[in-house]
Structure 1
């Protein structure tokens, strides 16, 4: 049986581990030079830092995952630095690119563990040099041991906001402000539900408490006004919950409002999508075990719906067992099913604590730049719904008229905000507006790539 696993983060590692335990040697593909995913990203071989410094409270989990990764590599058909840029479910083939050469991987079954990326709300000045996503700021720290600036402000909402701010401050950066767009009352109302994950909840409280104890400026319920600068970042201004306007001087800003699934391959595989109102994300349809409506395709990890690293590990193992079950193998799944159900209840509470700020994207002024690749303004997107052009009642029609999402990122950065802007303009829900459909290649590939 030919099995392919795409991704070597927490979900991919545990999926491969489970397959190997049942004598199936999968083709294992990851775009990075090593596994671990973004959450447990390893630094290059020449940069030595201990796990505690890199991963903090998550060091034991990261170390265990890396050990499983290293044990599995020689037993699997391990293919790092390889991009899967298309999937052909009818032919059961993956199109790959590695070292400038195209390839094809044939499979009988495939487990897609494609992970997630930052979800961003455009802010005036967000294209200035010195502005990165929250995940990008974290990757710089983990993989290269450097920060995005010397005086850094963090703006957004969600657990990653507080974690990255804490990691930067611990590493010696001057964190000048942590600005959360979610009101404290919203988080407080969700606190009873978050007690279902007491260890994770306690770590979050610790990060916030540590930042406050070290005198770092914190504001909640803020409305961002502008990232300021001429040629590069020099400051950040915002309005507080009471209407007061504030500003800090900084040379870098980290932005992020949670995560969104990297689900383009699932889309190309023909898997239908549903709008998850709790996550405020479009997610590919799958059952609790990772099975999809497309025979032979299984999903696990954040690429199928945001759950975090612990959920991804369990889901990766469970998807592999679902594949084995469907192949006629006898496996035990009850413990994993119980664990996934328990973790899922905590995730619901977490989403209530840090809801996506639709109002910020919907309320952007007409002159705000929302699509960096094509240089499009919010006003240009809104204009697709009126005037001489064909009215755009949904996102893909707006894309055809305005070119939103046709640039290098293919809508991966601007798509979420574009949907909010269009929904507000049309007076409908973001679910009614739809989502940008995936296109091959899922990421740009060179025309010079050879077979």
Structure 2
């Protein structure tokens, strides 16, 4: 019998480890990635000709980055690698399997596959605040991409704002690159980090790295502030300053020419939605995620899940999940199992899960930002929809679920398909209705999941 066609979506840590496990079992998977070079976000490679020393790009993770980049090169003869390729649609095939609608360097293609491993990663979680639509305001992830991939900063005097571990990491990376930081503003309280410290000790090396980034920044004079509230970016047509209140209610303002702000991460789960996976609500991260077993199986018998696309866990956990999901797939195909290796992976994943729970507690969800979103604040930049319009739809037009809200207001119908605005819209709707946020549902995935030229499907 012919071997099944297996496609892996994403060539970050999870996708590469999944590809390695399948290749070692004698299979030749499709490895499809939007990036021009393998590595994902955390181990993003600069364009050819613009390389810089790994220590400058990845810091403590330079060794891991080099190992994964080397793995990608070693796998090249044993996988069908499609770089720079977007899977924008997934449809079921009669008799099982999927048709993948792809847009790559050679144009549009439709690929038939038997099974999927989805390692689609994550993106910044965005919440609106005054001035967030001014030119010069980026996400933390975009600011990191600029530094890693283009070797440039988003400004010459930069303010960073966040609610997660990416904030101190990016502050360290920008300071090391010689960028002047106007402020580093953490919208979560210091007390939460102190309370979570025992749980963070589940992985001492990772805790030590986080402390080093923070202490190094303080020794450099980086203006780090915690418990920040009432954010506002100021400027006439461009970023000129950022203002906030501290935990004691005192008002502060510093001049800057660029701001990077995001408030944790959200899974890129559109592909899982199109593939027919069942979703569950995670109350800690306040987002819907495709249901995943510890071994990486989804609710669909032909779909496997790995990495941040099915639950935020970070790069180390993504590597473990990538291999674990591939081994689950191989077992389902009847390949011999390595029980000892699976047990080691399961133990590693259990430690990562304990650490991640403590990390989420250290950076709790910033409810205070949602509570202060004004009626005139733009929520959906694509369609120009304000928070007031969403509240009005809930109050006057019986919008009690986010897809109904979408039909009435066009929220989530623009270029991002709700990837940027959908989370905030659900939070605003839930507050307007005085309901738990999971009760208002989630925006259903639609193809194309990202913008494509109209000529391609034609």
TM-score (norm 2): 0.96
State which of 378, 386, 403 in structure 2 corresponds to 1:396.
403
Question: What's the counterpart of residue 61 of structure 2?
Answer: 58
Contact conserved, 1:196 with 1:345, CA < 8 A, in 2? Answer: yes
- After superposition, give the CA deviation of every residue in 1:168-227 in whole Å (9 maximum; x if it has no partner): 011000011000000111111111111101111111111111111111111111113311
* Match of residue 302 from structure 1: 308
Residues 1:371 and 2:387 are matched in the alignment: no
Matched-pair contact (CA < 8 Å) for 1:5–1:29: yes
1:130 to 111, 117, 136: 136
Using the TM superposition, give the Cα deviation of residue 107 of structure 1 relative to its aligned residue in structure 2, in angstroms.
1.3
Alignment of 1:33-432 (within 5 A): 33-91=36-94, 92-99=98-105, 101-332=107-338, 333-387=342-396, 389=397, 391-432=398-439
* 2:442 aligns with one of 435, 442, 446: 435
Greater mean alpha carbon deviation, residues 279-288 or residues 88-97: 88-97
Q: CA deviation at 1:450?
A: 5.7
Residue pair 2:305, 2:325 contacting (<8 A) in 1 also: yes
> 3-state DSSP class of the match of 2:281?
strand
- Structure 1 distance, partners of 2:364, 2:48, is 38
Deviation at 1:295, TM superposition (A): 1.6
Q: How many equivalent residue pairs?
A: 449
- Structure 1 distance, partners of 2:82, 2:231, is 45
Task: Give the superposed CA RMSD.
Answer: 1.1
Query: TM-score when scaled to structure 1?
Result: 0.98
Whether contact under 8 Å (1:101, 1:450) holds in the other structure is no
Q: Show CA shifts across 1:30-74 (max 9, x none).
A: 011111001100001111201001100000111111111111122
Q: 1:100 to 1:442 in 2, by over 3 A?
A: farther
CA drift of 1:100 comes to 6.2
- 1:125/1:227 contact within 8 Å kept: yes
- Once the two structures are TM-superposed, the CA of residue 147 in structure 1 deviates from its matched residue by 0.2
CA distance in 1, matches of 2:150, 2:429: 39
Contact 1:290–1:319 (8 Å) recurs in 2: yes
1:343, distance to aligned residue in structure 2 (A): 0.8
**Unmatched 5+ residue regions in structure 1?**
none
Q: CA deviation at 1:304?
A: 0.6
Shift of 1:266: 0.2
Q: Post-superposition shift, 1:323? A: 0.4
Distance 1:359 1:432, change over 3 A: farther
Per-residue CA distance 1:276-303 (angstroms, 9 max, x = gap): 1122221101101111111211110000
1:90 deviation in Å? 3.7
Change in Cα spacing, 1:232 to 1:280, as seen in structure 2 (3 Å) is same
Unaligned runs of 5+ in 2: none
Cα deviation code 1:224-280 (max 9, x no counterpart): 331111111000000111111100100000101111000001001111111111222
- In structure 2, the residue corresponding to 1:392 is in which secondary structure? coil
